[in-house]
Structure 1
Amino acid sequence: MHIQVDNVSKTIQGKPILRDVSFTIESGQSLALIGPNGSGKSTLLRAIAGLLPIERGAVTIDGERVDKLSPRKLAQRLGFVTQEAGTTDAIQVMEAVKLGRTPWLSFAAPFGHRDQQIVEKAMREMAISDDGHKFFNALSGGEKQRVHIARVLSQTPEVFLLDEPTNHLDIRHQIAIIDWIKHQDATVVLALHDLNHAFACDRVAVLDGGTLAAFGSPEEVLVASVIEPIFQVALHRNSAEHIGHPVLTFAKSKVA
């Protein structure tokens, strides 16, 4: 699905968080949102998800404003993975993932065999098939994150929004999530802390103080002239032919 962000602005407690942010994501593309802490990444994701009212501008999915869609219709089109995957509820993992099917169920169309197949496929993709009877509140942070992503996978949306999806994950599962993003047919927008993961995406947007400082392909954006002044570090691009893209390393900024 095509996403259009037009001049989106948001103020929280009198502080401008987003300032006239505009960009387009074509159907099936992936976009990495990067920027220093407090730059507005999570706020922008929540605005795109229709979870946060904005003062000015609009977000549309295939020409329809997200703030005009019903919660059910929005949930059928868009899945959102937040940073906080925790809950104190004593719910089994299988039942937690099943919740992703809720937007598609009704009295006339209860949970059935096809829904179960979708849930099991989502659990396989997140390597939690053997954890179905475990209780969610007893899992580690990384395990909870994979259950949370599996729940959204079972939602079968056409747009995925992910806020720091590799948080709490070990290296193996970080690689699996990034590989999953690279092979998605859906439109994907994700906020990232690790800039190297942004090479997996079609486009990269850099937020700085709530403004869109740069937008383009990873090769265009993940360069010293863009990254160094915003993150206040020295950037080095190192050859890594075995993974198909450079590896970024960082050092203390040369600017005093």
Structure 2
Amino acid sequence: MSLSNSLGLLGRKVGMMRLFTDDGDAVPVTVVDVSNNRVTQVKTQENDGYVALQVTFGSRKASRVTKPEAGHLAKAGVEAGEIIQEFRVTAETAGKYAAGATVPATDVFAVGQKVDVQGTSIGKGYAGTIKRHNMSSQRASHGNSRSHNVPGSIGMAQDPGRVFPGKRMTGHLGDVTKTTQNLDVIRIDEARQLLLIKGAIPGSKGGFVTVRPAIKAKASKGAN
């Protein structure tokens, strides 16, 4: 099965903490709440032209749900969630779940597994080239009076007489979809449905994330 067609889970970034190994080493981890992932629809090749599981996470007031979406969720018999997403899966995986079923974390992930985490990065607002593109500042003195943090020249003279498209300049920084790949699952709290993932993941505390099996995970030595 292609890893790009693997079931994942939706969750919320709780925050970061650290765990200690038996040797006393500190391991930074991000806590992700993946509780109550509910299947809202099972898509099949016969009915929809492809196989997928539609999953929702979180809860939303009934007054905040549109009538078409409310009818769709009522048909599945699930509570309205804050986000809905589809995961392309194999027919075998889709056959394990029915609309209204809950997907526990241990059904999808295991300790030591590599995962990819996708989220929306923290918005930084309008930023200069030093912060946005890691450019160097200009001289602090020696005749430089008001050009310390400016980007400098952005083009050439009469030929070509224009600024090339894609020139790195000031602008909006952050608040874009980012994916951090090949992170290790350090621990799974089955009682509270929490994933403890090694390292940092995109987004701020309380932000929504998508956790999938890593698609670029290196196979272990000796594996076929």
Both proteins in one fold, TM over 0.5: no
Say which one has the larger Rg: 2
TM superposition score normalised by structure 1:
0.22
TM superposition score normalised by structure 2:
0.24
> Quick check: which one's helix share is greater?
1
Q: Relative contact order (C-alpha < 8 Å, sep 6+): which is higher? A: 2
